[in-house]
Amino acid sequence: MTFPDTEDVVQSCFEMGKPDVSVNSALRTTLNQARAEGRMTQGAYECAKLLELDPDGVMLCLLPVVTNPQDVTVVIQHTLMEAFCWEHDIPLLKVSSPKNMVELFPEEASGADKSSLTSRAINCVLIQSPQNGLSGADKAVCAFYNKALSSNVLSWPVINLQI
């Protein structure tokens, strides 16, 4: 068994950490399309129900990076979601900040306390596969995931969203 050169892994990590405007734009478009078509599920409980009923119908799982590792409940929820997605070959992307994830859903956050929204409804987002095939934005997000997965980086791809 051979291991990749350390420099290659570090370079891949560096490239993955740079904000990619096209991936940001594609992810926003994918989320907006999924919301408009009713293919988006938010919240840990609702996502767990969907994963139990139809894991093959899920196109993408989106989780914020855990910012407080002392919050054991969130750490366990994320670990279980990650394991389930990995087991069922569901692409999983992590967003660099829970605050940025809340900003993706302005209508849910309007008039509400955004900090409670972060922990309550935006701790997990699932996008179901579209009925009419993948859009260009969907393909771009999936291509980013596949590139990240094949780049010898041993952690989940993290998107630094530009809000």
Tell me the domain boundaries of the chain: 38-159
pTM above 0.85, yes or no: no
Class of domain 38-159: alpha beta
Q: Are strands 158-159 and 92-95 parallel, antiparallel or unpaired?
A: parallel
Written as tens digits, the pLDDT of the chain (163 aa) is 333 333 333 233 334 444 455 888 888 899 989 999 999 998 888 999 999 999 999 999 998 888 888 888 888 988 899 899 989 989 988 888 777 777 776 555 444 444 444 445 578 899 999 988 889 899 998 888 888 877 766 566 666 665 4
Provide CB contacts within 8 A for 136, sequence distance 6+.
Answer: 26
Crossing angle (nearest 10°) for helices 136-149 and 21-37: 130
Distances (CA, A) of 133 to 62, 89, 130, 146: 20, 18, 6, 18
Distances (CA, A) of 48 to 59, 83, 85, 146: 15, 12, 11, 24
